[in-house]
């Protein structure tokens, strides 16, 4: 396997424009002859399906939810970045590009990031035209805010529901195409395998989640917009249904998986309440604009927060990072919280929590101002914890939130299997080792609305596609394998529930491949995961049949993939002997406890190639070259 | 949808028909009530009013037919919508606890049926005089008809009960009128209910005053 | 705490269903309602009984997947809260909780508590959009939107499409859902060119799907986890009425994309 990034030659600034001109076009009359299968209906998949439909392609779009409007993009709260420079505060495409590369700790591809920053501008125009109700100033212009410690105000938002509004915009465009007959929407349909024929991605195998029917779909290209794999940790801020199956199945069919160890831990989530916890809820990062993070100075201090005098509190972010303080980037804030708790100074049940205190802000600005800014978040917090954050400090703890790793793609967003395109969180391309706040929505929509619709034409144009159908040997084999797997899951009839396995795997990963990793821990995990996997296949209990709505079976299939994927993650983490962004190896840190990157040896994308069951995957490296942004140590002190 | 028939087929269109006919009927009952109160001014006043109303057959029958058509459309809309609404939930909940709906809203249908029965009775009773329990009906002596009929306790009570039903019907109906016609605004919303309640109370209490006064011996 | 659940069990759309009692024991007040169902399901699986199927996804009150009738109330007793955000501290030890699926002719049960809400998608297809294709939209600042209009539009646009309004309505009407989208776009300048078409198309589709009509009970807005107000229904009624009056014969039966 060769990793050809296909970055066009020439200057960064007009690279994308020129590339768009150089790419092949598909004539209007021929577009409807090309069928494109799009898996996932979030910001990336939904936007792509709508746009390709508008262009005239024959699109099939699949989602596991009962409606495309429910994809997990909907849960993003904070906002979407764009280099509009409306506030005239010095922003530019170049600055957004620079910030994103630096924020990603120099593990992203410059050309992709630059294009992302360029396209960000069009996204806002597009969304406004669709009727997305962004926040406005009294003059009727769009409001902007600074987000996640950015030094410019480039974040557009719709209250605390930006993801929802952007997704509903894409969804409405998608439904318009469904009505027009250009897109066939297949909800409650889960992709279980990729069909590769003559080296090209030509189809998928799905399971109808209501009837259980295993079906095949064929097209000239397959697009995966299936999101991230954060749920491998069991507890994450992802929706319960988010899974790695589509991308992992593609990996097993030959698509390289890049940087799987790059996961983002979000610092401000509501802590775990007990063993029953099924998911974690994020509290918007904007809270850190006014809240102060602290823990007691003394270990095992069980006094109520109000009884701890000022002198006995450790405002550790302000102490360690005086210039960024409570607004330090996500990875840094998360790790600092973990250190405080590891040190025995955590608060709340189980000691896994730190305070986010608004007392000072309330004193300074008044309760009304705080209510105006964060009212809905405070309500949500109280609904979940039964504590009033106006009176008692919030308790927060980091949680898995986003995965920067994903299927490897070239500049055209095509994976290592020709005809397989990967967009949004599902690919690895733009965020390096750490994603900045309000950049996920930007990337999803950039890929879906603007990049993929241009690049897919280049692939489809001038290529001949032989007709394929379910009778093809590869298709038959894929279907047989899917059916066999379903049958095997049902046949185990063991004693443990799927969730109990998932929980155990999650704990193991969180322990050894979470916020901080080290070689010993990763080796332990690499030894333990295959054992747990074997136990899963020996002892899992899935009731019911495959020919009905069977939620245990759906979960079992996903967990089975996590059981394999977790190993890939740990392997990647073990191989990367440096600390960068969300990947913190405790062996590689400065004396002050900061991440120590090793640009000399690790300035590359680690893309893993599947080599068969029981055989270690092959590591392929795409070297990263920084011509425009000077490699530097991130410092937020 | 661009045809009146298409409009009337939609649920929203039928609600508009119900609202507009309802408005007409509210106007009618307000006038009717005001005229009725003349009974307190003695036989001449009310009998004179009765005679005036009947002076032109053309006007009388135009009004009557308009009212009949309005009632007919009102009932048609209610009936077809009710049928649709009932069909829209073929399997009911084992348990459903109303959270917001007012009693008036929930009694709308049964109240409507009661009012229909009342109207039929009322027409046979005081318009055509077909039913006249315990007294002789006169086509000119409105005062006499009213007083002698309401001296029969069950008749008076039936009228009072019907007017309580009207109170409920109008309270929800007038409020609904604003909503259906799309006249909603935070400032209007606070007074919509008040307007509805005041009109409903005025109309029903005005009507009730007469049988009550007769039963209580104030009018004789 | 220990609770008794009476849950609607129905193996498939065609099968007959019934309420089945389960004991939910050792439930913590800090669990969400769905976590409580998870615990019950784990117990059922261990006993060899098939778990209760229910729709859910984000579990943070925004995706709109979850939603069941809890003791006769859509999304349960807490106002402004989706089922996933309802916590067990809203209940008392020893309570009996009746759990039923959304009930409407337009929402057939697929299994247990899972219903088919695709009619809501089809209502959107009938006009819940601004017809612009991707690319070359005018600069975002070229369209001025008064702050108040943007806020009102956002109030309506918050709808999560869970279907609680339909479930709570005595008539199983989808007016609040439909009105939220008609209002959202109708309040913004971007939505004006298609305002009539949208109102006509979406209301017509809503009727075709077999939902009931609105009788202004107000149950929908009370059940709505996002508190979408009845003002939206009034706005849709007005838009529909004016659109129907204005419509010219050739543009009859709006809806759909070009």
pLDDT in tens, C174-187: 999 999 999 999 99
How far apart CA B53 and CA A157 sit, in angstroms, is 65
C65, C94: one domain: yes
Identify the three-state secondary structure at position B183: coil
pLDDT reported for residue C41: 98
What's the angle, vertex CA B119, arms to CA B115 and CA B120, rounded to 5?
A: 120
C168/B99 CB distance under 8 A? yes
Out of B5-19, C9-23, C156-170, C178-192, least confident range: B5-19
C-alpha distance from residue B34 to each of B18, B31, B164 (Å) = 24, 5, 17
Backbone angles phi, psi at C87, to 5 degrees: -105, 160
The answer, yes or no, to whether residue C252 has pLDDT greater than 50, is: no
How far apart CA A236 and CA A243 sit, in angstroms, is 12
Backbone angles phi, psi at A40, to 5 degrees: 105, 140
B97/C170 CB distance under 8 A? no
C132, C244: one domain: yes
Within a domain: C256: no
A180/C257 CB distance under 8 A? yes
Q: Are A58 and A35 in contact (CB under 8 A)?
A: yes
Q: Does A239 touch chain C (CB under 8 A)?
A: yes
Q: What is the pTM of this model?
A: 0.96
Q: Order the strands of the A604-609 sheet from edge to edge.
A: A406-407, A257-258, A604-609, A618-623
pLDDT reported for residue C254: 45
Which member of C103, C203, C223 has the closest CB to residue B12? Answer: C203
Which member of B1, B95, B183 has the closest CB to residue C72? Answer: B95
C98/B94 CB distance under 8 A? yes
A175/C125 CB distance under 8 A? yes
* C-alpha A178: how far from chain center: 27
- Sort out which chain C residues have CB atoms less than 8 A from A142's CB and list them: 140-141
Cα torsion at C58, C63, C66, C69 (round to 10°)? Answer: 140
Count the alpha carbons within 13 Å of A518 in the hemisphere toward its beta carbon: 6
pLDDT reported for residue B2: 55
CATH says B4-88+100-215 is which class?
Answer: mainly alpha
Cα torsion at A191, A196, A201, A204 (round to 10°)? Answer: -20
Closest listed residue to residue B162, CA positions, set B205, B202, B118, B116: B118
C67, C127: one domain: no
Q: Does C172 touch chain B (CB under 8 A)?
A: yes
Q: In terms of C-beta density within 10 A (0-12 exposed, 13-18 middle, 19 or more buried), how is residue A93 classed?
A: buried
Q: Does B95 touch chain C (CB under 8 A)?
A: yes
State which of C111, C130, C147 marks the end of a domain.
Answer: C111
Any chains having at least 3 CB pairs less than 8 A from chain A are C
The region, left, alpha or beta by phi > 0 then psi within -120 to 50, assigned to residue A44 is alpha
Q: Does A47 touch chain C (CB under 8 A)?
A: yes
A185/C121 CB distance under 8 A? yes
Mean pLDDT score of chain C: 95
Supply the DSSP symbol for A528: H
Residues of chain A with pLDDT under 70: none
C129/A549 CB distance under 8 A? no
For C125, the closest chain A residue by CA position comes to A175
Q: Does C171 touch chain A (CB under 8 A)?
A: no
- Sort out which chain A residues have CB atoms less than 8 A from C146's CB and list them: 136, 140
Q: Does A52 touch chain C (CB under 8 A)?
A: no
Within a domain: C210: yes
pLDDT in tens, A298-309: 999 999 999 999
Q: Does C208 touch chain A (CB under 8 A)?
A: no
pLDDT reported for residue A550: 98
* β-sheet bridge partners, residue C73: C70
Q: How many domains is chain C built from? A: 2
Any chains having at least 3 CB pairs less than 8 A from chain C are A, B
Question: Which one of the listed residues A115, A292, A330, A571 is annotated catalytic?
Answer: A330
Identify the three-state secondary structure at position C215: coil
- Sort out which chain C residues have CB atoms less than 8 A from B101's CB and list them: 170, 217-219
Q: Are B126 and B147 in contact (CB under 8 A)?
A: no
Q: Order the strands of the A420-422 sheet from edge to edge.
A: A183-186, A58-62, A35-39, A221-224, A420-422
Residue of A131, A211, A238, A273 to mutate, testing the C interface (most C Cβ within 10 Å of its Cβ): A131
- Touch of C by B (3+ CB pairs closer than 8 Å): yes
Known active-site residue A288: no
B184/C231 CB distance under 8 A? yes
Closest listed residue to residue A67, CA positions, set C127, B129, C124, C147: C124
**Element holding A589 (H helix, E strand):** none
C47: containing domain: 3-111
State which of C82, C111, C140 marks the end of a domain.
Answer: C111
C181, C211: one domain: yes
- Sort out which chain A residues have CB atoms less than 8 A from C33's CB and list them: none
- Cβ-proximal residues to C55 (8 Å cutoff; 6+ apart), any chain: A66, C65, C66, C67, C113, C114, C115
Residue of C172, C196, C234 to mutate, testing the B interface (most B Cβ within 10 Å of its Cβ): C234
C95, C174: one domain: no
pLDDT in tens, C51-103: 999 999 999 999 999 999 999 999 999 999 999 999 999 999 999 999 999 99
Residues, chain C: 258
A176/C85 CB distance under 8 A? no
pLDDT reported for residue C250: 61
Q: Are A624 and A106 in contact (CB under 8 A)?
A: yes
Within a domain: C236: yes
pLDDT in tens, B86-137: 999 999 999 999 999 899 999 999 999 999 999 999 999 999 999 988 888 9
- Sort out which chain C residues have CB atoms less than 8 A from B100's CB and list them: 217-219, 221-222
CATH number at residue C103: 3.10.20.30
The answer, yes or no, to whether residue C256 has pLDDT greater than 60, is: no
C53, C134: one domain: no
* Selected residues 114-133 of chain B with any CB under 8 Å from a CB in chain C: none
Q: Does B4 touch chain C (CB under 8 A)?
A: no
Which member of A142, A380, A551 has the closest CB to residue C53? Answer: A551
Q: Nearest C-alpha of chain B: how many angstroms from C87?
A: 19
Q: Nearest C-alpha of chain C: how many angstroms from A177?
A: 7
CATH number at residue C128: 1.10.1060.10
Q: Does C173 touch chain B (CB under 8 A)?
A: yes
pLDDT reported for residue C258: 38
- Sort out which chain A residues have CB atoms less than 8 A from C29's CB and list them: 386
Say what the ipTM of the complex is: 0.96
For C86, the closest chain A residue by CA position comes to A383
C77, C150: one domain: no
C104/B89 CB distance under 8 A? yes
State which of C81, C111, C141 marks the end of a domain.
Answer: C111
Which sequence spans correspond to the domains of chain B?
4-88+100-215
How far apart CA A380 and CA A268 sit, in angstroms, is 13
Q: Nearest C-alpha of chain B: how many angstroms from C186?
A: 14
pLDDT bracket for residue C33 (50, 70, 90): very high
C122, C101: one domain: no
C244/B7 CB distance under 8 A? yes
* β-sheet bridge partners, residue A61: A38, A185
How far apart CA A16 and CA A122 sit, in angstroms, is 14
Q: Domains of chain A (ranges plus CATH)?
A: 12-262+404-460 (3.50.50.60), 266-399 (3.90.700.10), 480-601 (1.20.58.100)
Q: Nearest C-alpha of chain C: how many angstroms from B93?
A: 7
Closest listed residue to residue A126, CA positions, set C134, C144, C128: C134
Which member of B90, B98, B108 has the closest CB to residue C215? Answer: B108
How far apart CA B80 and CA C201 sit, in angstroms, is 21
């Amino acid at each position: 396997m060769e990793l050809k990034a296909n970055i066009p030659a020439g200057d960064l600034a007009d690279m994308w424009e020129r590339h768009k001109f150089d790419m092949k076009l598909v004539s209007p009359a021929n577009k409807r002859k090309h069928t494109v299968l799009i898996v996932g209906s979030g910001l990336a998949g939904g936007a792509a399906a709508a746009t390709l439909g508008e262009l005239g392609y024959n699109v099939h779009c699949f989602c596991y939810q009962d409606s495309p409007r429910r994809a997990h993009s909907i849960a993003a709260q904070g906002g979407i970045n764009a280099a509009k420079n409306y506030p005239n505060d010095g922003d530019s495409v170049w600055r957004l590009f620079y910030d994103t590369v630096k924020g990603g700790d120099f593990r992203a591809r410059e050309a992709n990031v630059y294009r992302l920053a360029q396209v960000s501008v069009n996204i806002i125009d597009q969304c406004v035209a669709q009727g997305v109700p962004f926040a406005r100033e009294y003059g009727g212009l769009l409001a902007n805010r600074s987000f996640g410690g950015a030094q410019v105000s480039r974040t557009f938002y719709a209250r605390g529901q930006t993801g929802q509004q952007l997704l509903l915009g894409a969804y409405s465009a998608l439904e318009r195409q469904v009505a027009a007959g250009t897109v066939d929407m297949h909800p409650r349909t889960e992709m279980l395998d990729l069909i590769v024929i003559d080296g090209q991605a030509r189809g998928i195998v799905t399971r109808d989640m209501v009837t259980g029917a295993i079906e095949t779909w064929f097209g000239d290209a397959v697009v995966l917009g299936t999101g991230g794999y954060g749920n491998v940790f069991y507890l994450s801020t992802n929706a319960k249904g988010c899974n790695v199956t589509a991308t992992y199945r593609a990996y097993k069919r030959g698509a390289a998986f890049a940087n799987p160890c790059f996961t983002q831990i979000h610092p401000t989530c509501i802590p775990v309440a007990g063993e029953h916890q099924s998911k974690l809820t994020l509290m918007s990062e904007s809270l850190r604009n006014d809240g102060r993070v602290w823990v007691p100075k003394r270990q095992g201090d069980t006094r109520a927060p109000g009884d701890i005098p000022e002198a006995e509190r450790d405002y550790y972010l302000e102490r360690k990072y005086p210039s960024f303080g409570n607004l330090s980037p996500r990875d840094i804030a998360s790790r600092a919280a973990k250190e405080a708790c590891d040190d025995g100074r955590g608060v709340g049940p189980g000691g896994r929590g730190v305070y986010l205190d608004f007392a000072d802000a309330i004193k300074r600005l008044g309760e009304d101002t705080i209510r105006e800014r964060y009212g809905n978040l405070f309500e949500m917090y109280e609904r979940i914890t039964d504590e009033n954050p106006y009176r008692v400090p919030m308790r927060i703890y980091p949680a898995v939130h986003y995965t920067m790793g994903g299927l490897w793609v070239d500049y055209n967003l095509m994976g290592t299997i020709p005809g397989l395109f990967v967009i949004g969180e599902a690919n690895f391309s733009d965020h390096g080792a750490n994603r900045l706040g309000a950049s996920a929505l930007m990337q999803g929509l950039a890929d879906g609305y603007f990049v993929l619709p241009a690049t897919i034409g280049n692939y489809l144009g001038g290529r001949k596609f032989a007709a394929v159908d379910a009778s093809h040997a590869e298709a038959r084999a894929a279907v047989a394998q899917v059916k066999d797997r379903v049958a095997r899951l049902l046949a185990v009839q063991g004693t443990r529930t799927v969730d109990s396995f998932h929980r155990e795997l999650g704990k193991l990963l969180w322990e050894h491949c979470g916020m901080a990793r080290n070689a010993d821990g990763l080796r332990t995990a690499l030894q333990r995961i295959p054992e747990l996997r074997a136990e899963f296949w020996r002892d899992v209990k899935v009731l019911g049949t495959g020919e009905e709505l069977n939620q245990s079976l759906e979960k079992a299939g996903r967990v089975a993939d996590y059981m394999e994927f977790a190993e890939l993650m740990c392997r990647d983490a073990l191989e990367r002997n440096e600390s960068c962004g969300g990947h913190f190896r405790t062996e590689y840190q400065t004396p002050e406890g900061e991440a120590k990157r090793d640009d000399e040896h690790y300035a590359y994308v680690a893309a893993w190639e599947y080599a068969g069951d029981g055989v270690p995957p092959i590591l392929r490296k795409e070297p990263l070259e920084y011509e425009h942004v000077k490699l530097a140590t991130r410092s937020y002190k | 949808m661009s045809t009146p028939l298409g409009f009337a087929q939609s649920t929203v269109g039928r609600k508009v028909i119900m609202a507009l006919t309802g408005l007409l009927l509210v106007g009618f009952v307000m006038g009717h009530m005001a005229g009725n109160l003349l009974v307190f001014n003695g036989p001449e006043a009310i009998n004179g009013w009765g005679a005036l109303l009947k002076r032109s057959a053309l006007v009388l029958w135009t009004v009557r037919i308009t009212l009949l058509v309005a009632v007919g459309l009102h009932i048609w809309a209610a009936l077809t919508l009710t049928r649709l609404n009932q069909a829209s939930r073929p399997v009911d909940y084992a348990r459903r606890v109303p959270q917001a709906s007012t009693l008036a809203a929930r009694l709308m249908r049964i109240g409507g049926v009661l009012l229909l029965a009342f109207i039929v009775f009322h027409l046979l009773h005081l318009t055509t005089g077909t039913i006249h329990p315990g007294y002789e009906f006169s086509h000119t002596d409105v005062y006499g008809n009213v007083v002698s009929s309401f001296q029969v306790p069950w008749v008076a009570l039936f009228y009072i009960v019907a007017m309580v039903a009207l109170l409920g019907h109008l309270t929800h109906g007038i409020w609904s009128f604003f909503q259906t016609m799309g006249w909603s605004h935070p400032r209007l919303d606070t007074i919509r209910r008040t307007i509805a309640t005041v009109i409903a109370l005025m109309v029903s209490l005005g009507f009730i005053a007469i049988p009550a006064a007769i039963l209580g011996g104030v009018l004789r | 705490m220990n609770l008794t659940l009476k849950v609607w069990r129905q193996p498939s759309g065609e099968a007959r269903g019934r309420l089945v009692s389960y004991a939910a024991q050792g439930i913590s007040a800090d669990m969400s309602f769905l976590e409580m169902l998870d615990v019950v399901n784990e117990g059922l699986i261990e006993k060899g009984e098939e778990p209760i199927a229910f729709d859910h996804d984000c579990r943070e009150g925004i995706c709109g997947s979850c939603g069941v009738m809890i003791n006769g109330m859509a999304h349960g007793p807490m106002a402004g809260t989706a089922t996933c955000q309802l916590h067990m501290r809203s209940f008392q030890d020893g309570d009996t909780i009746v759990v039923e699926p959304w009930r409407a002719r337009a929402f057939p049960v697929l299994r247990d508590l899972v219903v088919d809400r695709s009619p809501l998608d089809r209502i959107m297809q009938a006009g819940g959009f601004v017809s612009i294709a991707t690319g070359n939209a005018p600069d975002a600042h070229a369209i001025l939107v008064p702050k108040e209009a943007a806020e009102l539009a956002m109030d309506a646009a918050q709808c999560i499409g869970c279907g609680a309004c339909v479930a709570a309505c005595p008539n199983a009407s989808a007016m609040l859902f439909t009105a939220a989208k008609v209002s959202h776009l109708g309040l913004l300048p971007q939505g004006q060119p298609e305002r009539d078409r949208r109102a006509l198309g979406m209301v017509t589709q809503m009727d075709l799907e077999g939902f009931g009509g609105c009788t202004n009970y107000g149950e929908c807005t009370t059940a709505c986890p996002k508190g979408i107000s009845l003002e939206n229904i009034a706005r849709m009624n007005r838009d529909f009425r004016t659109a129907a009056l204005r419509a010219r014969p050739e543009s009859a039966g709006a809806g759909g994309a070009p």
